[in-house]
Chain A
Amino acid sequence: MTTATAPERRGTGSRTLSVVRLQLINTQSFVWVPLLIMTATVVLCLLIFAMIPGDGLKPSGAAQAPLWYFLALGIQAMTLTFPFSQAMSITRREFFVGTVVVGAIGAAMMATIFLGLAGIEMATNGYGMNGRIAYIEWFFEPGWASAWLTYFTVTLLLYVIGFWAATVWKRFGTLAIAAVLTALGLALVIALFVITRTGSWPAVIDWFAQTGPFLLTLGALLLTAVLSLGAYATLRKTTV
Chain B
Amino acid sequence: MDPVIEVHHLTKRYKDTLALDDVSFQIERNAIYGFLGRNGAGKTTAMSILTAQNFATSGSVRVFGENPYENPRVLSRVCFVRESQKYPDEANAKTAFASARLFFPNWDQDLADELIDAFRLPMKTVTKKLSRGQLSAVGVIIGLASRAEITFFDEPYLGLDAVARQIFYDRLLQDYAEHPRTIILSSHLIDEISNLIERVLVIDEGRIIMDQSVDDARGQATNIVGDAALIDGFIRGREVLHRESLGRVASVTLLGQLSAEERREVAAAGLDLAPVPLQQLIVRLTQRSGDAAGTSTISTEGALR
Contacts and interface: CB of A to CB of B under 8 A. Distances in A.
Direct contact between the two chains A and B in their complex (CB within 8 A): yes
Contacts of A4: 29, 64, 149
Contacts of B90: 26-29
B4 A1 contact: yes
**Which interface class (under 10, 10 to 19, 20 to 34, 35 or more) fits A?**
35 or more
A94 B73 CA distance: 12
Contacts of A237: 55
Interface in B21-36: 29
Interface stretch (A76-84, A108-116, A123-131, A192-200): A76-84
A91 B65 contact: no
Given A25-B99, A26-B99, A93-B70, A84 B85 contact: yes
Nearest to A3: B64
B279 interface: no
B106 A18 contact: no
B44 to A, nearest CB: 11
Interface string A5-36: 01111101001001001100111110000000
B80 A6 contact: no
B89 A9 contact: no
B79 A89 contact: yes
Main secondary structure of the interface of B (DSSP, over half): loop
A14 to B, nearest CB: 10
A21 B66 CA distance: 28
Contacts of B62: 1
B91 interface: yes
Contact of B82 (A7, A81, A87, A93): A87
Interface of A: 1-4, 6-10, 12, 15, 18, 21-22, 25-29, 76, 80-81, 83-84, 86-94, 236-237, 239-240
6 interchain residue pairs of minimum CB distance = A83-B86, A26-B88, A18-B102, A1-B65, A88-B103, A89-B75
Interface of B: 2-4, 6, 29, 48, 51-55, 62, 64-66, 70-73, 75-82, 85-91, 95-96, 98-100, 102-106, 142, 148-149
